[in-house]
């Protein structure tokens, strides 16, 4: 094999003598990979006028994988002949060899061996492995293989004809064998000294691809979030401000008519904040109305009939659901004067969970709230159907459930084709009058709400089985770098 060192220079020297050559023939002659020769020619083309090239397509015989194997190791018929040796061999032993079957058939056909009662003996004393010789010749592009021999090798699928793109190269108008080094950069020094005048500069390559600049990457969850946001916007929803991870128990629980003894308000379920441990600013009359509805009832409700304590409501927590945000927003809406509203939020919530493949202590909720006069459960189901259709989910089922702040309440199930079962994808309901009326919303206003996790559809979308591979400190950054844009409806 010829040295590829300074191959372009070798090519120039060769062209000086030969005036013209074909890249395939040169590669064969120098026993080099054709692509190496093409690469060297291409690099010379950067020097204007040195070479002229013409594209040609050439038919060439190439060894198949089996052909290469026979050229390297010998043909099966020859291997059989060798194996049989001067002593002969059992036919069964030959058949066990990888070359046995084809080798026997060919060696018999060539009358190299014969079989007698299961024993194979040599019929010829000496043979030449011409199949191997022909393959070796063709491999180096030699022309001493006859047309008949080629036909036979083709039939045995040891060679095949392929089209190869080659270049016919001849001298260009400014051909030279001593190329000046081409400068890639024009430097201030060259300008100052005037040396640029005698220099050759590399041509700009406007087709070359630039270096991909390093940049930030959106987390898959954020990509799914932006899809959800688009769906909400397309249905006329506005986004609620969710920049408040720390919330008072009042807005997280009390405002939602969740009694102070409710198990969800216990440290096993909720993270309490130690500093600052309490909130003290609340709308006073509203707080009084909340206290009353919990302890004594009102608005047609008997309440829970217990001793409601401000101390419990003051406790700061990491919000356990974005419904705390909805509560603030609905109260605000009542203060501003009611107008029909469709609101949503998508943000982080916190629960004191035991961590496993589907549970983290912090996750994201997608929440929608619709406030309108004389809204009913039928409207809520209609909104879901539309919302989930836009997500690409059409097979929905609803199951009655319980929330302290909604009545009726429904869990939403979707049929998961991959898991072939119904999976819970959300929770919802019509907010109770005990929650809405103390806020000051008109009595004929109904509010429907729903919440779902952001992680779950993302896991389904990206085929992620463990939530820890999606969110938190253990995620693989390459997943973040390489995951595609999200289209939920596809
Ligand atoms: N807050 C509920 C949850 O965390 C979801 C929900 C929102 C239910 C609004 C009803 C109305 O599961």
Per-residue pLDDT of 27-43, as tens digits, reads: 988 988 899 999 999 98
Residue nearest to atom 4 of ligand 1 (CA): 321
Q: Which atom of ligand 1 is nearest to the CA of 429?
A: 10
CA–CA dist 20, 57 (Å, integer): 17
CA–CA dist 445, 369 (Å, integer): 13
pLDDT of residue 462 exceeding 80, the answer is no
Residue 489 — pLDDT band, cuts 50, 70, 90?
low
Residue 369 — pLDDT band, cuts 50, 70, 90?
very high
Sign of CA dihedral 480, 485, 488, 490: negative
Q: Is 449 in the pocket of ligand 1 (CB under 6 A)?
A: yes
pTM check: above 0.95: no
pLDDT of residue 395 exceeding 90, the answer is no
Residue pLDDT, tens place only, 4-28 = 788 999 999 999 999 999 999 999 8
- What is the Å distance from ligand 1's center to 398 Cα? 14
Residue pLDDT, tens place only, 402-454 = 999 999 999 999 887 777 888 888 999 999 999 999 999 999 999 999 998 89
pLDDT of residue 490 exceeding 50, the answer is no
**CB-CB contact of 254 with 283 (8 Å):** no
The partner residues of 399 in beta bridges, in order of sequence, read 411
Choose among 184, 237, 213: nearest CA to 390: 237
pLDDT of residue 186 exceeding 50, the answer is yes
The confidence score (pLDDT) of residue 208 equals: 86
The confidence score (pLDDT) of residue 424 equals: 87
Burial class (CB in 10 A: 0-12, 13-18, 19+), 297: middle
Of 471 and 15, more confident: 15
Neighbours of 137 (CB within 10 A): 15
CA–CA dist 402, 285 (Å, integer): 29
Choose among 45, 12, 7, 6: nearest CA to 203: 45
Q: Is 450 in the pocket of ligand 1 (CB under 6 A)?
A: yes
Mean pLDDT over all residues of the chain?
A: 91
Q: Could you say which architecture CATH assigns to the domain 76-128?
A: Orthogonal Bundle (1.10)
Q: Is 458 in the pocket of ligand 1 (CB under 6 A)?
A: no
The confidence score (pLDDT) of residue 1 equals: 63
The confidence score (pLDDT) of residue 357 equals: 76
- What is the Å distance from ligand 1's center to 271 Cα? 18
Q: Which atom of ligand 1 is nearest to the CA of 367?
A: 7
Choose among 334, 328, 365: nearest CA to 457: 365
The confidence score (pLDDT) of residue 60 equals: 82
Q: Which atom of ligand 1 is nearest to the CA of 368?
A: 9
The ipTM of this complex is: 0.96
Q: Is 368 in the pocket of ligand 1 (CB under 6 A)?
A: no
Q: Would you kindly state where each structural domain of the chain is located, as residue ranges?
A: 76-128, 220-482
Residue pLDDT, tens place only, 43-62 = 899 888 999 999 999 888 88
**CB-CB contact of 55 with 148 (8 Å):** no
CATH number of 220-482: 3.30.930.10
- What is the Å distance from ligand 1's center to 427 Cα? 5
Residue pLDDT, tens place only, 98-153 = 999 999 999 999 999 999 999 999 999 999 999 999 999 998 877 789 999 999 99
**CB-CB contact of 285 with 335 (8 Å):** no
Percent of the residues in the chain that have a pLDDT greater than 70, as a whole number = 99
Residue nearest to atom 2 of ligand 1 (CA): 451
Residue nearest to atom 8 of ligand 1 (CA): 428
Q: Is 67 in the pocket of ligand 1 (CB under 6 A)?
A: no
The confidence score (pLDDT) of residue 5 equals: 80
Q: Which atom of ligand 1 is nearest to the CA of 365?
A: 4
Of 44-48, 208-212, 241-245, 272-276, which has the strongest mean pLDDT? Answer: 272-276
Of 247 and 199, more confident: 247
Residue in the structure block whose two tokens are 């400014």 = 174
Please give the span between the terminal C-alpha atoms of the chain, in angstroms, as a whole number.
Answer: 54
């Amino acid at each position: 094999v010829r040295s590829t060192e300074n191959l372009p220079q070798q090519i120039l020297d060769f062209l000086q003598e030969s005036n013209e050559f074909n890249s395939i023939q040169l590669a064969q002659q120098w026993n080099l990979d054709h692509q190496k020769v093409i690469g060297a020619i291409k690099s010379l083309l950067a020097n204007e006028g040195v070479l002229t090239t013409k594209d040609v397509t050439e038919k060439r015989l190439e060894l198949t994988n089996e052909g290469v194997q026979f050229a390297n190791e010998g043909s099966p018929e020859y291997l059989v002949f060798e194996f049989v040796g001067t002593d002969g061999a059992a036919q069964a032993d030959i058949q066990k060899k990888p070359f046995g079957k084809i080798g026997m058939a060919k060696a018999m056909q060539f009358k190299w061996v014969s079989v007698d009662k299961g024993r194979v003996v040599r019929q010829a004393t000496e043979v030449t492995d011409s199949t191997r010789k022909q393959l070796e010749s063709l491999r180096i592009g030699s022309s001493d293989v006859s047309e008949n021999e080629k036909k036979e090798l083709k039939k045995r699928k040891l060679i095949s004809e392929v089209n190869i793109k080659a270049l016919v190269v001849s001298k260009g108008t400014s051909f030279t064998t001593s190329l000046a080094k081409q400068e890639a950069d024009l430097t201030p020094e060259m300008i100052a000294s005037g040396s640029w005048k005698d220099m050759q500069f590399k041509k700009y390559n406007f087709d070359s691809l630039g270096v991909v600049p390093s940049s930030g990457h959106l987390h898959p969850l954020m990509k799914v979030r932006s899809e959800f946001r688009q769906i909400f916007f397309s249905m006329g929803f506005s986004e609620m401000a969710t920049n408040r991870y720390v919330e008072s128990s009042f807005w997280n629980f009390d405002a939602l008519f969740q009694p102070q003894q409710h198990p969800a308000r216990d440290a096993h379920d909720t993270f309490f904040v130690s500093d600052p441990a309490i909130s003290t600013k609340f709308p006073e009359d509203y707080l009084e109305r909340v206290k009353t509805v919990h302890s004594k009832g009102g608005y047609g409700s008997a309440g829970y009939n217990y001793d409601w304590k401000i101390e419990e409501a003051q406790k700061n927590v990491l919000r356990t659901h974005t419904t705390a945000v909805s509560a603030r927003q609905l109260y605000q809406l009542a203060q501003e004067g009611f107008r029909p509203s469709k609101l949503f939020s998508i943000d982080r919530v916190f629960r004191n969970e035991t961590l496993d493949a589907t549970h983290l202590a912090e996750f994201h909720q997608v929440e929608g709230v619709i406030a309108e006069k004389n809204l009913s459960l039928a409207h809520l189901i209609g909104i879901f159907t539309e919302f989930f259709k836009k997500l690409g989910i059409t097979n929905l089922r609803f199951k009655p459930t319980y929330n302290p702040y909604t009545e009726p309440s429904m869990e939403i199930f979707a049929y998961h084709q991959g898991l072939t079962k119904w999976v819970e994808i959300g929770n919802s309901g019509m907010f109770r009058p005990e929650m809405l009326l103390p806020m000051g919303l008109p009595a004929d206003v109904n509010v429907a709400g729903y919440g779902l996790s952001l992680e779950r559809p993302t896991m389904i979308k990206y085929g992620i089985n463990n939530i820890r591979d999606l969110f938190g400190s253990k995620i693989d950054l390459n997943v973040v770098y390489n995951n595609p844009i999200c289209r939920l409806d596809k």
